[in-house]
Amino acid sequence: MHDDAVVFIGGFGRGGVPENLIEAVCQKRLRGLTIVSNNAGTSSTGIARLLEEGCVRKVVCSFPLAKESVVFKGLYNKGLVDLEVVPQGTMAERIRAGGAGLGGVLTPTGVGTDIAEGKQVIELDGRNYLLERAMRADFALVKAHKVDPMGNLVYRKAARNFNPIMAMAADWVMVEATSEVAVGDLDPEAIVTPGVYVDAYVAIASAGQSMETAA
């Protein structure tokens, strides 16, 4: 990764957040990052760690001012980090469109509000829609439940959240998996993210022990 990159980070609250990858980015002391995620961190974990380390220039998210987003609130109030608020469904669809190679999506969400400022409004069948551009990133940090040596991924319950669509819409995808399994151990019908989208992964075998593998 490099300074000034746009980075997708999966997760919803604490679920599906690639905490170890985030810590690795903190250790690299990168600067000027634009982070795209559902929220702005919980207490001092997740994106809050990047904010604490001074890695972040801008946050693009749906829920920046949750009760637990204390680190973000402090920095934002001091003018040390920029913010772009995107409705949750709109964010999901913009990322999905980026992964599908589309130019954007039409949504009624935000019509007539500040969110519509500077955006094209299209009338369709008597209803107004905002044209929201597709969203892509330079990098995606993804949390998965299991990974095989081909990079195929499955997720655990609600931890799936934004991770699969982010894996489709970034130029370079890094995965933190709970465990690695052999090729053939994953049911092909259950694979959510095919390995073609994954560039590298790390399987966390247990607390304090990891095994790194390139997909």
pLDDT tens for 93-125 read: 999 999 999 999 999 999 999 999 999 999 999
Q: What's residue 209's pLDDT?
A: 43
Give the confidence band of 208 by pLDDT, cuts at 50, 70, 90. very low
Per-residue pLDDT reduced to its tens digit, 24-82: 999 999 999 999 999 998 888 889 999 999 999 999 999 998 788 899 999 999 999 99
Q: How far from 192 is each of 93, 96, 123, 182, CA to CA, in Å?
A: 17, 14, 35, 17
Per-residue pLDDT reduced to its tens digit, 176-199: 999 999 999 999 999 999 999 999
Which residue spans within 30-81 are E strands per DSSP? 33-36, 56-61
Distance CA 68, CA 193 (A): 30
pLDDT reading at 206 higher than 60: no
Q: What's residue 68's pLDDT?
A: 81
Contact 190, 181 (CB under 8 A): no
Q: What's residue 41's pLDDT?
A: 85
Give the confidence band of 205 by pLDDT, cuts at 50, 70, 90. low
Which ranges in the chain are annotated with CATH 3.40.1080.10?
A: 6-85+136-208
Per-residue pLDDT reduced to its tens digit, 85-96: 999 999 999 999
Greater confidence (206 vs 145) lies with 145
**Mean pLDDT of the chain, nearest integer:** 93
User: Fold for domain 6-85+136-208?
Assistant: Glutaconate Coenzyme A-transferase (3.40.1080)
Question: For the whole model, what pTM was predicted?
Answer: 0.91
Q: What's residue 66's pLDDT?
A: 79
Nearest to 19 by CA among 152, 176, 145: 176
Residue partners of 117: CB distance under 8 A and separation at least 6: none
Q: What's residue 103's pLDDT?
A: 97
Q: What's residue 123's pLDDT?
A: 97
Contact 70, 78 (CB under 8 A): no
CB atoms within 10 A of CB 28: 12
CA trace torsion 143, 148, 153, 159 (10° rounding): -40
Distance CA 24, CA 146 (A): 20
Q: For 127-146, what is the mean pLDDT?
A: 98
Nearest to 174 by CA among 12, 1, 36: 1
